[in-house]
């Protein structure tokens, strides 16, 4: 059901840069309270889509409604209800962490007093209270991203846009960030997240679209997409470089689909253990083997023939 005031409704949305089509007739609906994802490799058109939703990039064609409003006519009103964490941090290096938040609050017409109170609360939320008076520059990448997130929450947004929130962060910093985003989700904030990490999409998104070359190629919940497009498990086997492809014919009938990558074969099966036994029975012995659950990465590979992270 599409509600008239829903956070995002897009029909046949297109973004062109001169003749180049970056976003190609996509349909998107984000419901209130939902954590919605755009999963796709670099250049898929995720940022271009986010910038249109964020009302800073004019729509080339198609229809876009945010909270039922037209970005062209009501951009200011829409942006007042939105929080944006851009792909590259846009923090003010001349100002302290606290000043960054307070000044941003002022852009949303908060009084100085309210902005300061809210900023203190948010710095606590992202666990950076003790860095409040530090400049931005000396902070680590993960800390800077947390400042960006805190700043994007200064106006209590109804919709939060996160463009590749953990790209460039080390694993520990990612988990700290995921934890905070999860808390926000529990509080009922609608989130739109773009990512090229399948684990991030699985962790954070209720529902997502897989994007490639400006188009949406699949849509569903992470589990639903996996169930729909690939078998439950994957048996990964390696025969040594350049020798993977030639093994495929010997594996006929094992598992469902077989994907040959330069460095390994992926055998999709409901039971990976059984598939491996069958390999051994046929005396096809790989140098190494690994059984794992199927992921969105496998869905993407099946749909596009390419891996998400090159």
Partner 1 sequence: MTHALHVFERDVVFLRRIWKAVLLSAVVQPVMYLLGVGIGVGSLVDRGADSADLLGGVSYFAFYATALLATTPMFVGGQEALWPTLDGFMWSNSYRAMLATPISSRDVVIGQLFRYALRCVVTAAGVAVVLAIFDDTRSWGLGLAVLVGVLTGLAFAMPFAAWTATREGDSSFPAIIRFGIIPMFLFSGAFYPVSQLPDALEPVAWVTPLWHGVELCRGAVLGGLGGGMAALHVAVLLAYVVGGTAACMVTFERRLRT
Ligand X SMILES: Nc1ncnc2c1ncn2[C@@H]1O[C@H](COP(=O)(O)OP(=O)(O)O)[C@@H](O)[C@H]1O
CA distance 14 to 272: 42
Which listed range, 105-113, 125-133, 172-180, 254-262, lies at the site for partner 1 (CB under 8 A)?
105-113
Nearer to ligand X among residue 139 and residue 218 (C-beta): 218
CA distances from 34 to 47, 78, 165 (A): 19, 18, 17
Instruction: Please report how close the Cβ of residue 84 comes to ligand X at its closest, in angstroms.
Output: 14
- Per-residue x/- track, 16-45, partner 1 (CB under 8 A): -x----------------------------
CA distance 286 to 236: 10
45 binds, among partner 1, ligand X, Mg ion, none (CB under 5 to 8 A by kind): ligand X
The per-type count for the chain, helices as H runs and strands as E runs, is 10, 13
Instruction: Please report how close the Cβ of residue 214 comes to ligand X at its closest, in angstroms.
Output: 7
Residues in the chain: 310
Instruction: Please report how close the Cβ of residue 16 comes to partner 1 at its closest, in angstroms.
Output: 11
213 binds, among Mg ion, partner 1, ligand X, none (CB under 5 to 8 A by kind): none
Which listed range, 14-22, 58-66, 94-102, 283-291, lies at the site for ligand X (CB under 6 A)?
14-22
CA distance 192 to 262: 34
Per DSSP, 134 falls in state: S
CA distances from 76 to 54, 69, 72 (A): 10, 11, 9
Q: Are 55 and 73 in contact (CB under 8 A)?
A: no
Instruction: Please report how close the Cβ of residue 94 comes to partner 1 at its closest, in angstroms.
Output: 5
CA distance 45 to 47: 6
- Per-residue x/- track, 41-80, ligand X (CB under 6 A): -xxxxxxx--------------------------------
Instruction: Please report how close the Cβ of residue 107 comes to partner 1 at its closest, in angstroms.
Output: 4
Q: Is 47 in the site for Mg ion (CB under 5 A)?
A: yes
Nearer to partner 1 among residue 79 and residue 174 (C-beta): 79
107 binds, among partner 1, Mg ion, ligand X, none (CB under 5 to 8 A by kind): partner 1
Label residue 120 exposed, middle or buried (CB < 10 Å: 0-12, 13-18, 19+): middle
Which listed range, 71-79, 245-253, 284-292, 301-309, lies at the site for partner 1 (CB under 8 A)?
71-79
Phi, psi of 3 (to 5 degrees): -85, 150
Q: Are 136 and 95 in contact (CB under 8 A)?
A: yes
Q: Is 16 in the site for ligand X (CB under 6 A)?
A: no
Residue of 223, 199, 194 whose CA lies nearest to 210? 194
CA distance 99 to 107: 12
Instruction: Please report how close the Cβ of residue 83 comes to partner 1 at its closest, in angstroms.
Output: 8
**Contacts with partner 1, residue ranges (CB under 8 A):** 17, 54, 56-58, 75-77, 79-80, 82, 84, 86, 88, 90-95, 99, 103-104, 106-109, 155
**Contacts with ligand X, residue ranges (CB under 6 A):** 17, 20, 22, 40, 42-48
């Amino acid at each position: 059901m599409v509600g008239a005031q829903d956070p995002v409704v897009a029909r046949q949305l297109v973004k062109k840069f001169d003749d180049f089509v970056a976003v190609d007739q996509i349909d998107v609906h984000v419901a209130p309270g939902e954590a919605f994802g755009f999963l796709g490799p670099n250049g898929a058109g995720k940022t271009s889509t986010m910038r249109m939703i964020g009302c800073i990039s004019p729509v080339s064609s198609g229809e876009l409604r945010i909270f039922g409003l037209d970005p062209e006519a009501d951009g200011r009103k829409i942006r007042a209800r939105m929080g944006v964490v851009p792909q590259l941090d846009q923090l003010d290096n001349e100002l302290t962490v606290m000043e960054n938040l307070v000044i941003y609050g002022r852009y949303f017409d908060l009084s100085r007093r309210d902005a300061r109170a809210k900023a203190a609360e948010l710095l606590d939320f992202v666990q950076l209270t003790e860095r409040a008076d530090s400049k931005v520059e000396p902070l680590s990448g993960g800390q800077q991203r947390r400042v960006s997130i805190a700043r994007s929450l200064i106006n209590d947004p109804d919709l939060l846009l996160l463009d590749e929130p953990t790209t460039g962060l080390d694993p520990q910093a990612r988990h700290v960030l995921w934890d905070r985003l999860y808390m926000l989700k529990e509080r009922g904030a609608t989130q739109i997240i773009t990512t090229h990490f399948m684990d991030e999409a699985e962790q954070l998104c209720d529902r997502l679209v897989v994007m490639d070359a400006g188009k949406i190629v699949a849509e569903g919940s992470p589990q639903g997409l996996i169930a729909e497009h690939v078998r439950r498990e994957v048996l990964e086997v390696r025969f040594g470089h350049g020798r993977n492809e030639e093994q495929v014919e010997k594996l006929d009938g094992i598992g469902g689909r077989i994907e040959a990558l330069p460095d390994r074969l992926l055998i999709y099966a409901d039971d990976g253990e059984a598939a491996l036994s069958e390999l051994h029975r046929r005396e096809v012995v790989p140098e190494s083997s690994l059984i794992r659950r199927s992921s969105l990465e496998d869905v993407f590979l099946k749909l596009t023939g390419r891996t998400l992270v090159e």
